[in-house]
């Protein structure tokens, strides 16, 4: 493919100024890195290249049945199409931007080369009518998602996001599988998405009054009695944490952001912070049951905001088989590990952007480089009184401890809540994918205001 077909003219002006964020330029050799990553992406033996066509555009969408809203969407759907593939496949995504403003897409949770990460550090935003090709190999099974990494408080809120499912060679067997993308949208009386709000919204993060499951307000879902389903949940909200409950009925958590956990864990509610995912084994239920898929305010909470109504229909036979051991995860670090870095998430009063949202005392922080192959043990410290979902691009980490306590189970994560005035210790290994990476709070308003850091991974 000729070079100019792969990405738009790189001499086009950049549009990195959004909501007070500072302008970032990709490094001088981004095009070279991009071409190299593009060429290097070859499927594993027996696997394939999966071609995906995505188009961002404005379109009419009924978040609320019967009410038309001007949304922004991938392929005119909220959420965008579910991208499904296997470990070892190569995704080749042709992205056409038909929005009235620039965009670029981040593949949240995927371990891909830096050049394909979709941030302003590794590519120029794609101008209106521009085209960009992303191409990378899928290394891990799990539930991931894609969303723009430009003007996020507007682009995601209006509906630009979609799920990614990557299947491994061995997956537990279920009677059915569903993807539920949760969101909330702030609609005005005219039924249109409200423009970004003032100080308070920027401070607390935007929470809309219309709760969505797969782009619809409070849908009804039918499940067969006697069956066990795999539900892949993605929280695509701008800011809202969802402690999910299925009418208080027990379910089993089988996976988190970085794929399956070691063993199923039985819960009656489960916290999914903004940008995080959870895989649940749900059921069996009895015919005639009606359950509220809802968020509850605290562990063991009874009633909360409705997301969907689940109706249990006539029984069907089950062939689900959920093993006791789902996966083996080797711990990267012992509890006594010595931290290699401290990262402080902070806030200071200020008139603009809901105050100053900082990493290590600085908005849009530049953090020290990290070396390939050197184990990273980071203490991520929340100096504020709010929750901040910490997201690391491109690499999975393990949580060593939260506020000094060992987590309930070992898992791979890319997004983890840091409780108010709390601290998480994480361990991660930079494998050989040098380049510009970042971490940030995934409350979109906080990220835009500067609660983020860039850093380089070097060989």
Residues near Cu ion (CB under 5 A): 388, 441, 443, 446
Give which of Cu ion, ligand C2O, none residue 149 binds (C-beta under 5 to 8 Å, depending on kind).
ligand C2O
Q: CA 160 to CA 148: how far, in whole Å?
A: 7
Question: In whole angstroms, what is the distance from residue 205 CA to residue 278 CA?
Answer: 22
Contact at 8 Å (CB) between 143 and 177? no
Q: Count residues binding ligand C2O (CB under 6 A).
A: 9
7 binds, among Cu ion, ligand C2O, none (CB under 5 to 8 A by kind): none
284-313 binders of ligand C2O (CB under 6 A):
none
Q: Which does 111 bind (CB under 5 to 8 A by kind): ligand C2O, Cu ion, none?
A: none
Instruction: Fill in the DSSP letter of residue 6.
Output: H
Pick what 446 binds: Cu ion, ligand C2O, none; C-beta below 5 to 8 Å, kind-dependent. Cu ion
Nearest approach, Cβ of 113 to Cu ion (angstroms)? 28
State yes or no: residue 454 binds ligand C2O (CB under 6 A). Answer: no
198 Cβ neighbours under 8 A, 6+ residues apart: none
Which residue's CB is nearer to Cu ion, number 175 or number 413? 413
The conformation of residue 431, written as its DSSP 8-state character, comes to -
Question: Least separation, in Å, of the C-beta of 442 and ligand C2O?
Answer: 6
**Residue of minimal CB distance from ligand C2O?**
108
The nearest distance, CB 108 to ligand C2O, in angstroms, is 4
Distance between CA atoms of 349 and 429, rounded to whole angstroms? 35
Q: Binder to ligand C2O among 15, 18, 86, 108 (CB under 6 A)?
A: 108
Using alpha carbons, list the distances in angstroms from residue 410 to 224, 259, 352: 32, 11, 40
* Three-state secondary structure call for residue 38: helix
Name the residue nearer to ligand C2O (CB basis): 245 or 276: 276
User: CB-wise, 243 or 440, nearer to ligand C2O?
Assistant: 440
Contact 128, 101 (CB under 8 A): yes
| CA–CA distance, 187 with 146 (Å, rounded to integer) | 23
Q: How far apart are CA 85 and CA 91, in angstroms?
A: 8
Per-residue x/- mask for ligand C2O, residues 409 to 448, rule CB under 6 A?
A: -------------------------------x-x------
- SS3 state at 201: helix
Backbone angles phi, psi at 59, to 5 degrees: -160, 165
**What's the closest the beta carbon of residue 155 comes to ligand C2O, in angstroms?**
12
What residue 230 binds from ligand C2O, Cu ion, none (CB within 5 to 8 A, per partner kind)?
Answer: none
| Residue closer to Cu ion, measured from CB, 240 or 433 | 240
β-bridge pairing 216-217 and 220-225: unpaired
Q: Which does 124 bind (CB under 5 to 8 A by kind): Cu ion, ligand C2O, none?
A: none
CB of 95 to ligand C2O, least distance (A): 16
Q: Taking Cα atoms as reference points, which of 201, 451, 450 lies closest to residue 345? A: 451
Using CA atoms, how far residue 236 sits from 74, 242, 434, in Å, is 14, 10, 28
Min dist CB 452 to ligand C2O, Å, is: 8
* Residue 234 lies near ligand C2O (rule: CB under 6 A): no
Q: What 8-state DSSP symbol labels residue 127?
A: P
Expressed in percent and rounded to 5, the helix, strand and coil fractions of the chain are 5, 45, 45
Residue 150 phi, psi (nearest 5): -135, 135
Q: What distance in Å separates the CA atoms of residue 449 and residue 354, rounded to the nearest whole number?
A: 8
Q: Does 277 bind ligand C2O (CB under 6 A)?
A: no
Among 106, 135, 158, 203, binds ligand C2O (CB under 6 A): 106
CB atoms within 10 A of CB 149: 25
Q: Quick one: 166 or 443, whose CB is closer to Cu ion?
A: 443
- Quote the tokens at residue 61: 């969408």
Q: Which of Cu ion, ligand C2O, none has residue 443 at its interface (CB below 5 to 8 Å by kind)?
A: Cu ion
Phi, psi at 40, each rounded to 5°: -75, -20
Note whether 86 binds ligand C2O by CB under 6 A.
no
Residues in region 198-227 near ligand C2O by CB under 6 A: none
Beta carbon of residue 416, minimum distance to Cu ion (angstroms, whole number): 12
Give the one entry of Cu ion, ligand C2O, none that residue 393 binds, where binding means its C-beta sits below a cut-off of 5 to 8 angstroms depending on kind.
ligand C2O
Is there binding between residue 388 and ligand C2O (CB under 6 A)? no
Which of ligand C2O, Cu ion, none interacts with 137 (beta carbon under 5 to 8 A by kind)? none
Q: Give contact residues for ligand C2O (rule: CB under 6 A).
A: 106, 108, 147, 149, 275, 391, 393, 440, 442
């Amino acid at each position: 493919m000729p070079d100019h077909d792969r990405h738009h003219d790189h001499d086009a002006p950049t549009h990195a100024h959004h909501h007070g964020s500072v302008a970032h330029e990709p490094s001088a050799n981004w095009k070279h890195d991009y071409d190299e990553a593009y060429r290097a992406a070859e499927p594993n033996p027996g696997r394939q290249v999966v071609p995906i066509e995505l188009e961002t555009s404005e379109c009419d969408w009924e978040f609320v049945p019967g009410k038309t809203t001007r949304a922004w969407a991938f392929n005119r759907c909220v959420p965008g199409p579910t991208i499904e593939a296997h470990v070892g496949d190569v995704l080749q995504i042709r992205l056409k931007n038909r929005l009235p403003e620039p965009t670029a897409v981040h593949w949240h949770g995927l371990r891909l080369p830096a050049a394909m990460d979709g941030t302003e550090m590794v590519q120029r935003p794609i101008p209106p009518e521009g085209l960009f090709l992303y191409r990378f190999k899928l290394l891990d099974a799990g539930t991931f998602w894609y969303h723009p990494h430009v003007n996020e408080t507007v682009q995601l809120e209006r509906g630009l996001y979609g799920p990614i499912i990557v299947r491994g060679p061995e997956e537990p067997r279920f009677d059915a599988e569903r993807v539920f993308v949760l969101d909330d949208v702030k609609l005005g009386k005219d039924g249109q998405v409200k423009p970004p709000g003032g100080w308070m919204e920027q401070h607390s993060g935007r929470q809309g009054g219309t709760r969505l499951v797969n782009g619809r307000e409070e849908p009804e879902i039918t499940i067969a009695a006697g069956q066990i389903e795999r539900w892949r949940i993605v929280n695509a909200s701008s800011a809202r944490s969802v402690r999910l409950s299925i009418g208080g009925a027990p379910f089993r958590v089988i996976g988190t952001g970085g794929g399956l956990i070691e063993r199923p864990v039985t819960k009656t509610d489960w916290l999914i912070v903004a940008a995080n995912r959870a895989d649940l084994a749900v059921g069996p239920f009895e015919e005639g049951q009606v359950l509220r898929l809802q968020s509850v305010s605290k562990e063991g909470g009874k009633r909360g905001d409705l997301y969907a109504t689940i109706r249990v229909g006539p029984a069907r036979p089950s062939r689900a088989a959920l093993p006791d051991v789902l996966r083996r995860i080797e711990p990267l670090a012992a509890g006594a590990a010595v931290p290699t870095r401290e990262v402080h998430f902070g806030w200071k009063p200020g008139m603009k952007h809901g105050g100053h949202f900082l990493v290590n005392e600085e908005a849009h922080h530049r953090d020290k480089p990290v070396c390939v192959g050197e184990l990273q043990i980071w203490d991520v410290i929340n100096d504020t009184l709010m929750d901040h979902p910490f997201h690391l691009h491109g690499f999975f980490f393990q949580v060593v401890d939260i506020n000094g306590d060992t987590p309930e189970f070992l898992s791979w994560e890319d997004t983890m809540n840091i409780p108010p005035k709390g601290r998480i210790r994480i361990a991660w290994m930079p494998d050989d994918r040098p380049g510009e990476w970042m971490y940030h709070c995934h409350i979109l308003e906080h990220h835009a205001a500067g609660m983020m850091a860039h850093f380089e991974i070097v060989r």
